[in-house]
């Protein structure tokens, strides 16, 4: 089969960033990217589309304009991996060989896990900022609702941008508050997990907004079924003893977030860990068993928050360690699990959560933007005015702003 020095699977946030970081370090590298999509989406912008702040158009660009001209682009999906033979199979059946493989195909939204959801998504008041194209419908629904009940669900972890289910809720509540109708709306958050946010330091600031908006918090309450025409959602509540009980709740608006898993070609491969995610070393981002396989982005089984912000820190680490592998040098760059979640608690203010493995706080922005665990206007300015540009023209171009890798050992 045809062969490239480096084959990158996926041309999303992670795939393009790592290609750019590699090229920046070594212009002579022979790079290929396998990516089937014609459009590249800036998914972190979808929260602001759902909140009526961004137009959807600014979150999408033709893949042809994002794909660097120094890579060979295969507009195909990978359908199978063969790490022992150092090759991958494309959707047209062809094989492509590599010296080093980088896996960055993101994750899969498992809509089918919630009975009836897929059939009603985008109608009957059922929406999700997680589904490409639907954030606009979220904003339509939020504007239309003046009384009734609004439900926001969060599935079991891990999911990408774990704060996004509640970001949608806070921005909606803030709109209803400004319209003077919040008091007429019963807002409920149903979280399959047991805590509001996985890093305890940020919880008090979020709880203050929960109280301010009068949100009814339900933990260990997992969305299992939706009947769109009847406008009912079924939540499975599990108590401390492990007993579960189903409860049906009627709604006028349902913002649903599906469970998430690794793409099937990863999940079913020998490269997966016990939970189906890519089995990488936490610090080097190299595969635990295949020395010529790296990975980054949402597919990785490392315990960081699955965010584009994590990719910002991961791409230079993979680039540096991959080149060291090609040169038979020791791997020096370390990823410390950085991830970030800009929690849009109201229009104009954000709690900027930045943390690494084990929930250690890892602020990378100056104090006037990230002032510990409180909401700031500067963090909103960063998210709404600066980050899209930094994404398209910084991260995707290999400018490693505030992302110098740590050293191992
Ligand atoms: P993606 O960007 O999803 O890209 C994966 C790519 O792989 C896609 O282009 C896909 O077509 C391709 N692919 C899939 N299967 C194959 C295959 N078989 N072969 C080849 N290619 C394949 N992050 C933040 O940092 N901050 C935020 O505020 C934030 N908010 C978010 C809000 C929402 C509503 C959502 C949905 C996400 C949010 N994120 C946020 C998360 C962020 O978007 C992801 O973490 C990031 O996009 C991960 O990059 P990735 O390249 O791993 O995956």
Q: pLDDT tens for residues 347-374?
A: 999 999 999 999 999 999 999 899 889 9
3-state secondary structure the chain: CEEEEEEEECCCHHHHHHHHHHHHHCCCCCEEEECCCCEEECHHHHHHHHCCCCCHHHHEEEHHHHCCCCEEEECCCEEEEECCCCEEEECCCCEEEEEEEEECCCCEECHHHCECHHHHCCCCCEECCCCCCCHHHHHHHHHHCCCEEEEEEECCCCCECCCHHHHHHHHHHHHHHHHCCHHHEEEEEEECCCCCCCCHHHHHHHHHHHHHHCCEEEECEEEEEEECCCCEEEEEEECCCCCEEEEEEECCEEECCCCEECCHHHHCCCCECCCCCECECCCCCEECCCCCEEECCCCECCCCCECHHHHHHHHHHHHHHHHHHHCCCCCCEECCCCEEEEEEEECCEEEEEEECHHHCECCCCCCCCCCCCCEEHHHHHHHHHHHHHHHHHHHHHCCCCCCCCEECC
pLDDT at 281 > cutoff 90 = yes
In this structure, the answer to whether residues 118 and 212 fall within a common structural domain is yes
**In a domain? residue 74:** yes
Residue nearest atom 36 in ligand 1 by C-alpha distance: 130
In this structure, the answer to whether residues 116 and 95 fall within a common structural domain is no
**In a domain? residue 353:** no
Residue nearest atom 15 in ligand 1 by C-alpha distance: 105
C-beta separation of 331 from 408 below 8 A: yes
Q: Is the C-beta atom of 255 inside 6 A of ligand 1?
A: no
- Least confident interval from 65-74, 173-182, 237-246: 237-246
Last residue of a domain, one of 260, 278, 311: 260
Distance 341 CA to ligand 1 centre (A): 14
Q: What is the pLDDT of residue 232?
A: 98
Q: Match 């009814």 to its residue by tokens.
A: 216
Q: What is the pLDDT of residue 31?
A: 98
In this structure, the answer to whether residues 40 and 127 fall within a common structural domain is no
Task: Indicate which residue of 13, 48, 96, 161 is catalytic.
Answer: 161
- Mark whether 161 is an active-site residue: yes
Residue nearest atom 27 in ligand 1 by C-alpha distance: 44
Distance 108 CA to ligand 1 centre (A): 9
pLDDT at 402 > cutoff 80 = no
Which CATH number covers residue 101? 3.50.50.60
Q: pLDDT tens for residues 30-67?
A: 999 999 999 999 999 999 999 999 999 999 999 999 99
Q: pLDDT tens for residues 100-156?
A: 999 999 999 999 999 999 999 999 999 999 999 999 999 999 999 999 999 999 999
Is this complex scored with an ipTM above 0.90?
yes
Task: Indicate which residue of 341, 351, 378, 382 is catalytic.
Answer: 341
- Ligand 1 pocket test, pick from 106, 168, 392 with the greatest ligand atom count within 8 Å of Cβ, gives 106
In this structure, the answer to whether residues 145 and 252 fall within a common structural domain is yes
| Burial class of residue 75, CB neighbours in 10 A (0-12, 13-18, 19+) | middle
pLDDT at 7 > cutoff 80 = yes
pLDDT at 188 > cutoff 80 = yes
Closest ligand 1 atom to residue 309 Cα is 25
Q: Is the C-beta atom of 15 inside 6 A of ligand 1?
A: yes
In this structure, the answer to whether residues 119 and 256 fall within a common structural domain is yes
pLDDT at 242 > cutoff 90 = no
Q: Is the C-beta atom of 164 inside 6 A of ligand 1?
A: yes
In this structure, the answer to whether residues 291 and 312 fall within a common structural domain is yes
Find the domain containing 119 and state its range. 112-260
Closest ligand 1 atom to residue 50 Cα is 34
Q: Is the C-beta atom of 52 inside 6 A of ligand 1?
A: no
- Ligand 1 pocket test, pick from 32, 105, 267, 269 with the greatest ligand atom count within 8 Å of Cβ, gives 105
Q: Is the C-beta atom of 298 inside 6 A of ligand 1?
A: yes
Provide the phi-psi class of 231: left if phi over 0, else alpha when psi is between -120 and 50, else beta.
left
- Mark whether 173 is an active-site residue: no
**In a domain? residue 254:** yes
Distance 189 CA to ligand 1 centre (A): 24
**In a domain? residue 355:** no
Q: What is the pLDDT of residue 259?
A: 98
**In a domain? residue 381:** no
pLDDT band with cut points at 50, 70 and 90 for residue 403: confident
In this structure, the answer to whether residues 118 and 249 fall within a common structural domain is yes
User: How many folded domains does the chain comprise?
Assistant: 2
**In a domain? residue 378:** no
Q: Is the C-beta atom of 306 inside 6 A of ligand 1?
A: yes
Q: pLDDT tens for residues 300-335?
A: 999 999 999 999 999 999 999 999 999 999 999 999
Q: What is the pLDDT of residue 401?
A: 73
In this structure, the answer to whether residues 240 and 283 fall within a common structural domain is no
Q: pLDDT tens for residues 76-103?
A: 999 999 999 999 999 999 999 999 999 9
In this structure, the answer to whether residues 81 and 125 fall within a common structural domain is no
Instruction: Output 109 or 239, whichever has higher pLDDT.
Output: 109
In this structure, the answer to whether residues 192 and 246 fall within a common structural domain is yes
β-bridge partners, 101: 7, 293
pLDDT band with cut points at 50, 70 and 90 for residue 168: very high
Last residue of a domain, one of 236, 260, 284: 260
Last residue of a domain, one of 225, 260, 295: 260
Q: What is the pLDDT of residue 282?
A: 98
Question: In the predicted model, what is the mean pLDDT of the chain?
Answer: 97
In this structure, the answer to whether residues 142 and 122 fall within a common structural domain is yes
Residue percentage of the chain with pLDDT more than 90? 96
In this structure, the answer to whether residues 231 and 277 fall within a common structural domain is no
Distance 309 CA to ligand 1 centre (A): 11
Distance 223 CA to ligand 1 centre (A): 23
**In a domain? residue 379:** no
**In a domain? residue 320:** yes
């Amino acid at each position: 089969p045809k062969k490239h020095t480096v084959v990158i699977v996926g041309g999303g946030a992670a795939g393009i960033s790592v290609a750019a970081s590699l090229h920046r370090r070594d212009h002579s590298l022979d790079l290929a990217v396998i990516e089937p999509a014609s459009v590249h989406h800036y998914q972190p912008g979808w929260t602001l589309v759902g909140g009526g702040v961004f137009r959807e158009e600014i979150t999408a660009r033709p893949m042809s304009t994002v794909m660097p001209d120094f890579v060979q682009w295969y507009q195909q999906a990978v359908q199978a991996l063969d790490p022992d033979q150092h090759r991958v199979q494309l959707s047209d059946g062809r094989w492509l060989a590599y010296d080093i493989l980088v896996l960055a195909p993101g994750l899969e939204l498992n809509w089918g896990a919630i009975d009836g959801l897929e059939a009603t998504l985008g109608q009957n008041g059922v929406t999700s900022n997680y589904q490409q194209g639907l954030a606009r419908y979220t904003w339509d629904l939020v504007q239309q609702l003046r009384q009734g009940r609004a439900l926001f669900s969060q599935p079991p972890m891990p999911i990408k941008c774990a704060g996004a289910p509640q970001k949608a809720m806070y921005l909606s509540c803030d709109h209803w508050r400004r319209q003077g109708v919040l008091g007429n709306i019963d807002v409920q958050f149903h979280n399959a997990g047991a805590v509001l946010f996985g890093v305890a330091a940020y919880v008090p600031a979020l709880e203050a907004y929960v109280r301010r908006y009068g949100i009814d918090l339900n933990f260990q309450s997992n969305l299992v079924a939706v009947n769109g025409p009847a406008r009912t959602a079924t939540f499975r509540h599990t108590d401390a003893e492990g007993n579960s009980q189903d409860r049906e709740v009627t709604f006028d608006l349902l913002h649903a977030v599906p469970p998430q898993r690794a793409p099937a070609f990863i999940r079913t491969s020998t490269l997966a860990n016990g939970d189906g995610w890519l089995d990488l070393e936490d610090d080097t981002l190299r595969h635990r068993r295949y020395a010529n396989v790296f990975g980054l982005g949402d597919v990785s089984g490392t315990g960081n928050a699955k965010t584009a912000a994590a990719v910002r820190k991961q791409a230079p680490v993979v680039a540096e360690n991959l080149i060291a592998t090609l040169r038979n040098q020791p791997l020096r760059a370390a990823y410390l699990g950085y991830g970030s979640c800009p929690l849009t608690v109201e229009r104009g203010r954000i709690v900027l959560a930045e943390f690494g493995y084990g929930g250690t706080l890892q602020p990378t922005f100056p104090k006037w933007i990230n002032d510990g665990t409180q909401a700031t206007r500067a963090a909103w300015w960063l998210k709404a005015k600066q980050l899209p540009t930094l994404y398209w023209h910084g991260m995707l171009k290999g400018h490693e702003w505030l992302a110098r890798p740590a050293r191992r050992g």
